[in-house]
Structure 1
């Protein structure tokens, strides 16, 4: 009888674990929020504030430099080239009076120089002009032109016609890629105008070149010097 009571006793079942499983599961799903110590947070804020102050001080130090050196205007730097003065100085070396076209203020020269022709063997007077339409025309004058040099100056462009400017017929050469040249043999020298400007601007400068040539003495080519083609 005692054995039967022990077999059916409620206390003989498997023991349940203590505590509530549901509570344990819910605590495992709750995210843990990191807590930054107050001292670390204070140091982080101090670093950010320090960076901002340093940036403001750098801008304040650099700003006067920027204000004292303003940006150039859109038209850019415009060198003051007195072509007539440079031409007079080059005349003794050149052996002739280089052209100094008078275009008023329409064309602006950005260089004027005498080249001894060490590489090409042809000494030249050279002037670069910025046109009213902000294009460019290079002027080259020499008393010792030859066919090879002329092809180099005109970029091997074929003769495509002629154009009257200043009362003279200029030979027109066109590369077909925007670059063109006008060539004139007059009063003992050869003048080549080359660039990508429009023909009306070429004609204006060419007329001024003829006026300069007419105003100066004609060039006398010595028998030992190669004549212009």
Structure 2
């Protein structure tokens, strides 16, 4: 005859010492986690995120342009810009797969925005479109008597493109138009100066 009373379930019993050790491990783990978080927060507090201006460097664009001229075969533009502007790099890029070599300068404006200036005497439509981030042509902007092609990117960046018989300059960045105008005017002023120096009689004949 079977026993009608079910066998009660056996509950495991943890010894007091083992339970104490387990609790100590959990507490230790929590304390270690809180300590790590506190250290990270302290480091972040002591080292706040630097402002854009902290990344400014003093690159002598005119000097680098002079050194690049022999390789480039022309004197790249190094515009004279207002106080508060700076360049964080200036370099000559040899031809890539597209066959286009170009002068490349990164400018930080007085408002801590960025504009890249790229100039080439071997530019082609594919290279221009790539430098302008494939942005569509949306108009023309006249700056100091020179017409620049305007290309607007929906993501916020824009480009100005200036093309002459001698060279092509592409300005690209997220800065305001007033800053683009300053850089564009400085670049074309140098181009006019170079042209007058190369053809001194052309200015006298006008």
1:117-128 matches, within 5 Å, as 117-128=95-106
Gaps of 5+ in 2: 1-46, 199-206
Correspondent of 1:148 among 118, 126, 132: 126
Is residue 161 of structure 1 aligned with residue 139 of structure 2?
yes
Any gaps of 5 or more consecutive residues in structure 1? 1-69, 221-229
Q: Cα 1:72–1:86, aligned 2, differ >3 Å: closer, same or farther?
A: farther
Give me the TM-score of the superposition, normalised by structure 2.
0.68
Q: Decide whether the 8 Å contact of 2:100 with 2:120 is kept in 1.
A: yes
State the alpha-carbon separation in 2 of the partners of residues 169 and 201 from structure 1.
Answer: 16
For 1:164 and 1:106, locate their aligned partners in 2 and report how far apart those are by CA, in whole Å. 24
Q: Which residue of 2 aligns with 1:107?
A: 85
How many residues were matched structurally? 150
Following TM superposition, where does structure 1 have runs of at least 4 consecutive aligned residues deviating by more than 6 angstroms?
Answer: 70-73
Structural RMSD (CA) = 2.1
The superposition leaves residues 24-50 of structure 1 with CA deviations (integer Å, 9 ceiling, x where unpaired) of xxxxxxxxxxxxxxxxxxxxxxxxxxx
Check the 8 A contact 1:174/1:180 in 2, yes or no. Answer: yes
- Rounded to whole Å, the distance in 1 between the matches of 2:132 and 2:87 is 20
Q: Structure 1 residue 155: deviation in Å?
A: 1.1
Note if contact 1:167-1:207 (Cα within 8 Å) is conserved in structure 2: no
Aligned to 1:179: 157
1:97 to 66, 70, 75: 75
How far the C-alpha of 1:206 sits from its partner, in A, is 0.4
Larger radius of gyration: 1
8 Å contact kept, 1:140–1:193: yes
Tell me, yes or no, if the aligned pair for 2:56 and 2:108 is still in contact at 8 Å: no
Which position in structure 2 is the counterpart of 1:216? 194
Alpha-carbon spacing, 1:148–1:132, altered in 2? closer, same or farther (3 Å):
same
1:159–1:173 Cα contact (<8 Å) kept: yes
Aligned partner of 1:203 in structure 2 is 181
